[in-house]
Amino acid sequence: MFTFLDTRDWFFDLKWHVRGDMGDDEHRFAKVDVSLLKSRWSEKISEEEGSALTNMIRLLNTECRKDNPNRPLQLDLRGILLLNEDLSDLDLSGYDFSYANLNSSKLTRTVFSYATFHRASLEQSILDECEFLGSDLTYASLNECNAKRCGFGGADLSHTSIISANLSGATFSRSKLVSADLRASNFEKAKDLVQMIAHA
């Protein structure tokens, strides 16, 4: 019988997982085989359990509820394809979504505190009332997303593309916006944005 704990252990044990002794900067700038990161998700765990992607989506929806005190604290989700998925009202704090595709996903009220989205794509996704406290969104794409009342406090949005997005009511206290592309986006009632741009 399949168990979610087995899936979690499987993801940690694979040889492509980032070494535990690597610091944040080493992790971000380590040479990455993006094609390998993406192709691994099509691998089958077994005939009965299906692909790694199918099992991970199931794990996220069942193990990562906000009321679950035993949710996995670290998950390597680099390169995962979550196109059009509904992952609303979950706690995905601290997970690594680098190079992931979350385009057109529904992520309303999900917590992404201290998560990593380096070079990830969240285009046309629904991020209303999400929390990105201290998250790394460097070089990510949030074009045409809806992120109303979203919290980006302390987040690093350097070199991030946020074109034609709706971020009305979003909060940007202590966030970094160095070379971020904010063209044609709606920042009505956004908090601390002007101050952060001035210091970029």
pLDDT tens, position by position, 137-165: 999 999 999 999 999 999 999 999 999 99
Confidence of residue 193 (pLDDT cuts 50, 70, 90): confident
Domain count, the chain: 1
Q: What is the DSSP letter of 46?
A: E
Joined together, the tokens standing for residue 74 give: 């670290």
pLDDT at position 13: 37
The proportion of the chain whose per-residue pLDDT surpasses 70, expressed as a percent, equals 81
Has residue 24 got a pLDDT over 60? no
Length of the chain: 200
Confidence of residue 22 (pLDDT cuts 50, 70, 90): very low
Q: Write down the pTM of the prediction.
A: 0.84
Residue 174 and residue 51: Cα distance in Å, rounded?
40
Check if the beta carbon of residue 92 is closer than 8 Å to that of residue 72: no
Residue 165 and residue 146: Cα distance in Å, rounded?
6
pLDDT at position 30: 56
Cβ neighbours for 114, distance < 8 A, ≥ 6 positions apart = 93, 94, 133, 134, 135
Kindly report the CATH number assigned to the domain that includes residue 194. Answer: 2.160.20
Residue 71 and residue 42: Cα distance in Å, rounded?
24
The residue segments making up the domain with residue 185 are 1-200
Q: What is the DSSP letter of 44?
A: E
Q: Is 90 exposed, middle or buried (0-12, 13-18, 19+ CB in 10 A)?
A: buried
Joined together, the tokens standing for residue 101 give: 């595709």
How confident is the model over 57-70, as pLDDT tens digits?
999 999 999 999 99
For 103, the 3-state DSSP assignment is coil
Cβ neighbours for 20, distance < 8 A, ≥ 6 positions apart = none
Residue 31 and residue 28: Cα distance in Å, rounded?
9
Residue 160 and residue 170: Cα distance in Å, rounded?
16
